[in-house]
Every structure is written in structure tokens, then in C-alpha cells.
Amino acid sequence: MEEEKDVKKEVTDIIEKSVSEKTDTIKKEIEKSVQEKNEAMQKSLDDAATQIKASEEKAKSLETEVTALKKEMEEKTETIKELGKQTKEAHVVNIKPVTYADFIFDEIMKNKEELLKIKSKNDCLYMNTVDAICKDAKSNERIYKAGDFLTTTESFVNTDGDPSRGILTDFRRDVTRIPMRMPFIREIINTYTTARPDVEWIETEELIGGAEMVPEGGLKPELKPKWISRREKAKKIAVRTVASMETLEDIEFAAREIAFELERSLLLKEETQILSGDGTGDNYKGILQYAPQFFVDATTYGRFFQNIIDPKEIDVLRASIAIIVTRYFRPTTILINPVDAAMIDMHKDLTAGYVHDPFTRSISNIMKNLIVREETAITEGTFLLGDMSRSNYAIRKGLSLTAGRGSINDDVEHNLYTFIAELRGYHYIKENEKNAFLQGNFEDAFVMLDKLSS
């Protein structure tokens, strides 16, 4: 019995020991697992905290960037507004371009103090080129050099001697000017500016030979062009006017009138030269010196007009268009006197009915979509038409303005100031392009066409 108890005890001890060991093992495993999970959780918490901190820093950085972008956007918005303002102002300027009159007026007003300081005949003021007043005796010769001036206007001097003027009189400050035609030629020809005193271009004077049909291996024909160089030099247009010291006391009024009259005088002379200058001496060579004369006979364009009966102005102009086109050009503009345009529009048939209804089918509408300009610069009874883009006017010196006092007309003694405006340019039509134009006299053209139909 005793042995049996010992065996049970031994077995019990073994079991308890085994259980205790397993319990310890399990406990350690559980503790290890719990520790690992705690460490993993702590790591996760630390990572989360790091991420939160990074997010906070990123958010702060983004806030800084947003603030900077907002500021930049505000600055750009102001820039855009300013650009918009400048664009609007530029657009307004383009609608009303600066004219020579604007330039002259601005220069006089800008230099009015220096201008009124001019006292002696050796003083001069180159307004648009030199800020200071020059006092060189040679400048006096420069201002009053003979041949510089093509026209002269009278001074704006009050001669009525009425002491009550400006007190009892309702004085109107505007001037009723003498009616004159307004210059137009720059609008329709090729006008540009240049820094060169002359222009040179190359033209083909002659073509010898040309393409031919050749057999295989045969000698190829030769084309031999012959070129020639042509040149035109700049020439000057100038005008001067005189104003009294009393007139210049109302400087704004005087400047405006001086500017208007100088500009109109210059541009009218310029237009006359571009249209009809004879090319001799100091004159431009005008369009009418280049343009061929209207001419037809039985062998020259006779087929076009052999059936014309009782030719009129409209027939002459239509025939002229055809002549220019057969010469490989396309006319763009017809220039005729307003009286001739009216005669065309009011032409009637034998029953006193309008041939062309002047209210729906005037000359401006029927001449092959060409621009018809009624201009008094064209002599009554004559016409000029052509591709006006082939007429070139280069402005070498847009405008220079000088003011001074000299000995002419005893300017100093009579308190008179002289203003001088001048420009330089050259007009030319290339020799190979002169057939883009045609001019003529209606009566002479009628005779030519009548001969063909008789």
C-alpha cells in the first residue's frame, strides 16, 4: 500500500511539474505575444503621430503656399488690369492716330517756355531734336536758307486796333478757315517710313530665251535674264509761318492754329507732288509721270471696242480696266473729278430715263467692285486708275519743327516768331509696274472709240 502511494505521489509530481512547465511556457508565450503586440501598437501609434506631425507641417506649408499664390494672383490681377487699361488706351490711340498737327501742337506746348525766351535773331529751337536752345550764327542761315520753303503763310496778327476787344466783344476763339480739299493720297498708296536717304531696287529689264520641248538627252534651252538697278533720292517739302509775340501770349490757341495750317500746307503740297510732280529738280516724280496714256486704234485693242456706239465715260473706264488686266495687273482704284462722277451717274437715254439709277446703281457700285474716289485733285474731264499699291511713298523724315527769330521782315524789331515745318521723302513706281496704271482724257478717248465704231 505504501508503495502504491509513493507511485501515485511520483506520478502526481510529474504531472504537476509538467503542467507547471507548460503553464510557464504558455504564460511566457502569452506575455511575449502581448509585448510584441504592445510594441507593434506603440510603433503604430508613433508612426501615426509622425504622420500627423508631417501632415500638420505639410498643412502649414500649403497654407504658406496658398498665401503666396493668393498674393501672386492679386499682383497678376493688377497687372492684367493695367495691361487691359493700356490696351484700351492703345486701341483709342489707334482709332485716332497722331497726326502731324498733333505733333506740332504738342511740341510747341512742350517747349513753350523755351520758345518765349528766344530774343535775338541768332536764337533757334529745334523742338523735336534738341532740348536746349541753340545760339549759333550759322543756325540763322539754316532757318532762313533760300529754297527751303515752298509756301509761306501770313502771321496771325490782330490789326483792328480796337482797345475794347475782349471787354465788350464776344470773341470766338475758333478760326473759320479757308475751305480746301483734304489730302487723301496716303490712304490709298503704299506709304512707309525709312531711315535711308534714297531707295534702290532691282528690276528685270529683259528675258532672253526660255523653256522649250526637248527630246530625251537633248540640249536644254537657256533662260538669260538681264537685271538693272534703279534708284530714287529723298527730296524735301517745307513751309514756314510767322506769329507775333502778342499772338503767342495765347499759346494754346496759336499752337493749334499754327499746327493745323502747317500740316495742311505740307500734306497738300506732298499730295500734289505724288500725283503730278514732274520729277525735275527738287520735285517728286508723280504717278501721272509714270502712268501710260489711254490709247486704242484698229490694231491695238480694236477687237474689244469695235461695236461701241456713242461712247460715254463709263465705256472709257470699263475699257481702261480691260487694258490694265491684259497687261497682267488688277486695278483697285479709280480717281475722277466729282463733276465727271456726277455726269456718269446722271447719264440719261433718249427717253430721259436714267441709264444708271443714281440711287441704286451709281458708278461706285458698277465699276467691277473697284474703289471710286471723287477727288478735286483730279482735273475735270480726266481720269486715273490702277493698282495703287504699286505707287510707293517712302517717308525719309516724317516731320521736323524749328522755331526762331531772324532778320527776314525785321522779325526781331516787330516781335515776330517764325515756325518752320519740313519733311523728306521719295515717291517711285517701278518701271515694270507702271502698266498697273492708266490715265486719260475723256474727250480724247471718245474720239478714239468713235473711230473704231464708224
CA 120/CA 123 separation, integer angstroms: 6
* Confidence bin at 83 (pLDDT 50/70/90): low
Contact predicate 161/197, CB 8 Å: no
CA 134/CA 151 separation, integer angstroms: 25
All residues at 6 or more sequence positions from 22 whose CB lies less than 8 Å from its CB, including other chains: none
**pLDDT for residue 293:** 97
CA 417/CA 243 separation, integer angstroms: 5
CA 21/CA 34 separation, integer angstroms: 19
Q: What is the mean pLDDT of residues 419-434?
A: 91
All residues at 6 or more sequence positions from 390 whose CB lies less than 8 Å from its CB, including other chains: 190, 329, 429, 430, 433, 434, 436, 437
Q: What is the mean pLDDT of residues 154-164?
A: 42
Q: What is the mean pLDDT of residues 439-451?
A: 89
Task: Lowest mean pLDDT of 61-70, 289-298, 329-338, 357-366, name the range.
Answer: 357-366
CA 233/CA 295 separation, integer angstroms: 32
* Confidence bin at 351 (pLDDT 50/70/90): low
* Confidence bin at 275 (pLDDT 50/70/90): very high
Contact predicate 292/439, CB 8 Å: yes
Task: Lowest mean pLDDT of 154-168, 193-207, 261-275, 276-290, name the range.
Answer: 154-168
Task: Tell which wins on pLDDT, 373 or 301.
Answer: 373
**pLDDT for residue 320:** 93
**pLDDT for residue 386:** 96
Q: What is the mean pLDDT of residues 94-122?
A: 68
Question: Which residues lie across from 230 on neighbouring strands?
Answer: 201
* Confidence bin at 451 (pLDDT 50/70/90): low
CA 262/CA 255 separation, integer angstroms: 10
**pLDDT for residue 304:** 64
pTM score, whole prediction: 0.66
Mind spelling out the 3-state secondary structure of the chain?
CHHHHHHHHHHHHHHHHHHHHHHHHHHHHHHHHHHHHHHHHHHHHHHHHHHHHHHHHHHHHHHHHHHHHHHHHHHHHHHHHHHHHHHHHHHHHHHCCCCHHHHHHHHHHHCHHHHHCCCCCCCEEECCCCCCCECCHHHHHHHCCCCCCCEECCCCCCCCCCCCCCCCCCCCCCCCCCCCCCCCHHHHCEEEECCCCEEEEEEEEEEEECCCCCCCCCCCCCEEEEEEEEEEECEEEEEEEEEEHHHHHCHHHHHHHHHHHHHHHHHHHHHHHHHHCECCCCCCECHHHHCCECCCCCCCCHHHHCCCCCCCHHHHHHHHHHHHHHCCCCCCEEEECHHHHHHHHCCECCCCCECCCCCCCCHHHHCCCCEEEECCCCCCCEEEEECHHHCEEEEEEEEEEEEECCCHHHCCCCCEEEEEEEEEEEEECCHHHHHHEEEEEHHHHHHHHHHHHC
**pLDDT for residue 97:** 43
pLDDT at 33 over 60: yes
How far from each other are the two terminal CA atoms of the chain, in whole angstroms? 174
Q: What is the mean pLDDT of residues 132-152?
A: 35
pLDDT at 384 over 90: yes
Q: What is the mean pLDDT of residues 333-357?
A: 79
Q: What average pLDDT does the structure give for the chain?
A: 76
Question: Count of residues for the chain?
Answer: 454
